[in-house]
């Protein structure tokens, strides 16, 4: 095709579609499957739109001048098909969610109480769950310092996100994060700037730190041997939050990292370029 014709074809595309397809954020983060992320083009006009998915506010970022993208977390429980992002002005944006197969993992625990907790444990677990769910639902106005995240530790992955887990033969919740095989004591660095919104010592997660990167984009690190931060502390990208350990329900030292968007736990591997379809 003569060069001038190709140029005319490109110019004939709506600007928003062209810019979204060209966006590095779309290219790197758009993995529209359960447990993944959908990047939705909200258009180019006006101030930052307020968008929501399933009733929860979603992260909206600006790219290429006045161009708005919604970065939507898709829960593991989401059914493949057409989904919708709502915008405050009444507009709705459809997007399609594909399917993804997550493999099984079988784990043996010596402590049967960590598989079938006793009544007192359940009381504690439910309280801790509520506390952590509230942290995941917090929505602060700041824009994240970076969407492509740094690895919190340098080491090989030992368990991927989404695997269906069986403890001593009994199925429990799927793996909501990514595990890195690194020695106890390894410093864990926050993969983007943020504020410490929750710390705790939990039945399953052990010593845990939640870092809010802004607009519902939240990291959680658990099983720590030591916590080096306090609630309310503001952290620069790369600041140490604590040390790798094996507290809580863990078969040995490793770093477990959750990433959440709009209260949906999504695959952290997307943000470090290690996602597998
Ligand atoms: Zn884990």
CA of 229 to the centre of ligand 1 (A): 21
210: exposed, middle or buried (Cβ count in 10 Å: 0-12, 13-18, 19+): buried
Label residue 44 by pLDDT band (50, 70, 90): confident
Ligand 1 centre to CA of 4 (Å) is 54
What is the tens place of the pLDDT at every residue in 124-164?
999 999 999 999 999 999 999 999 999 999 999 999 999 99
Residues 6+ apart with CB under 8 A from 26: 20, 39, 41, 69
Indicate whether this model's pTM tops 0.85. yes
Ligand 1 centre to CA of 56 (Å) is 26
Q: Is 118 exposed, middle or buried (0-12, 13-18, 19+ CB in 10 A)?
A: exposed
Give me ligand 1 centre to Cα 46, in Å: 42
Note the helical H segments in the chain. Answer: 3-12, 15-22, 24-29, 119-137
> From CA 269, how far away is CA 173, in angstroms rounded?
19
Taking the centre of ligand 1 as the mean of its atom positions, its distance from the CA of residue 212, in whole angstroms, is 19
Q: What would the two tokens of residue 27 be? A: 């290219």
Å from CA of 72 to ligand 1 middle = 23
**SS3 of the chain: helix, strand, coil, percent, to 5:** 20, 35, 45
Residue with the bigger pLDDT between 2 and 165: it is 165
128 phi/psi in degrees, rounded to 5: -65, -35
Distance (Å) from CA 2 to ligand 1 centroid: 54
| 101-122 per-position pLDDT tens digit | 999 988 887 888 888 888 888 9
Instruction: For each of the domains in the chain, give its residue range(s) and CATH number, in order of start.
Output: 3-97 (2.60.40.1590), 104-272 (2.70.70.10)
């Amino acid at each position: 095709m003569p060069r001038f014709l190709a140029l005319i074809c490109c110019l004939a595309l709506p600007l928003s579609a062209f810019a979204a397809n060209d966006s590095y954020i779309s290219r790197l983060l758009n993995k529209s499957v359960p447990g993944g992320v959908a990047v939705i083009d909200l258009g180019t006009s006006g101030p930052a739109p307020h968008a929501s998915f399933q009733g929860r506010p979603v992260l909206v970022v600006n790219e290429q001048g006045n161009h708005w993208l919604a970065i939507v977390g898709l829960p593991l429980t989401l059914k493949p098909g057409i989904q919708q992002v709502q915008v405050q002005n009444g507009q709705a944006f459809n997007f399609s969610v594909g399917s993804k197969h997550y493999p099984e993992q079988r784990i043996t625990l010596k402590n049967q109480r960590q598989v079938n907790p006793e009544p007192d444990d359940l009381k504690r677990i439910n309280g801790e769950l509520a506390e952590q769910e509230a942290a995941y639902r917090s929505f602060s106005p700041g824009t994240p310092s970076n969407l492509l995240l740094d690895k919190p530790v340098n080491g090989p992955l030992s368990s991927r996100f989404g695997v269906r887990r069986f403890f001593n033969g009994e199925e429990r919740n799927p793996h909501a994060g990514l595990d890195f095989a690194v020695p106890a004591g390894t410093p864990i660095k926050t993969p983007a700037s943020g504020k410490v919104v929750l710390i705790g010592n939990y039945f399953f997660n052990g010593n845990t730190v939640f870092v809010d990167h802004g607009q519902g984009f939240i990291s959680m690190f658990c099983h720590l041997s030591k916590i080096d931060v306090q609630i309310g502390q503001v952290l620069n990208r790369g600041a140490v939050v604590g040390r790798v350990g094996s507290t809580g329900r863990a078969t040995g030292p490793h770093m477990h990292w959750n990433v959440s968007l709009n209260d949906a736990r999504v695959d952290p591997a997307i943000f470090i370029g290690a996602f597998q379809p």
